[in-house]
Amino acid sequence: MENHFLYQVFGKTTMTKEEIEMVVLKFKQVNFAKNDFLLEEGKSANNYWFIESGFVRSYVIDTEGNDITTNFYSIGDIVIDWPSFFLRNPTRENIQALSDCVCWQLDFNTFQELFHGIKNFREQGRTTLVGSYFALKRHSISIIADTAKDRYTRLLKEKPHIVKHVSLKHIATYLGITDTSLSRIRKELSDE
């Protein structure tokens, strides 16, 4: 039990061993093949996942039909559409596996039982959500305040495994630029 993958995920929280065990047992392993959708635009999220292995991307299609990456996920990350999962609404986002993935899944009703039943679990869940909020805000401010080059070098530094495994065009839209521009930024950096 203690070497269950999810044990690491919940091990850093204030939860007791008994609580962690209760929680972990509710998760169910689900595997996705490359290009499978974890969630599709128009549907409502009834699950979320922790990634044990693999890469995942979320994106939206904007009004002009452009694909814009909203986030990348890899080992240890939670994959969740917060608004759709909690507001029980159809989503605008697509979440797709970029590689074969091993994930651990929890559905909404089971989540609710745990959330209302275990104080430490809801503290943990709140902390995770607030962490996502914080990351999103940082990214949003960065798009306003920093140059594309700065954004790219920071991504490279903070998430090198993402840059290594994900195609340039997806990274570009995540950074708010075109693939052409990112290619030029890469060239500039290699010329330095």
Partner DNA sequence: AAATTTTCTTGTCATATGGCAAGTTTTATA
Partner DNA sequence: TATAAAACTTGCCATATGACAAGAAAATTT
Selection from 101, 104, 79, 81 nearest residue 165 by Cα:
101
The two three-digit tokens of residue 70, written as one number = 């909203």
Residue 165 contacts DNA per CB under 7 A: no
Q: How many residues bind DNA (CB under 7 A)?
A: 18
The two three-digit tokens of residue 99, written as one number = 């590689």
Residue 132 contacts its own copies per CB under 8 A: yes
Residue 127 contacts its own copies per CB under 8 A: yes
Residue 154 contacts DNA per CB under 7 A: no
Residue 181 contacts DNA per CB under 7 A: yes
Q: Of residues 135-154, which lie at the interface with its own copies (CB under 8 A)?
A: 136-137, 139-141, 143-146
| Max CA distance (Å), the chain | 57
Candidates 20, 23, 162, 177; binder of DNA (CB under 7 A) is 177
| Cα distance between residue 192 and residue 127, in whole Å | 40
Query: What does the chain come to in residues?
Result: 192
CB closer to its own copies out of 105 and 132: 132
Selection from 132, 61, 52 nearest residue 97 by Cα:
52
Choose from DNA, its own copies, none: what does 148 bind? Cβ within 5-8 Å by kind: DNA
Phi, psi of 89 (to 5 degrees): -115, 155
Give the nearest distance from C-beta 185 to DNA in angstroms.
7
Residue 169 contacts DNA per CB under 7 A: yes
Residue 133 contacts its own copies per CB under 8 A: yes
Give the side-chain half-sphere CA count within 13 A for 188.
11
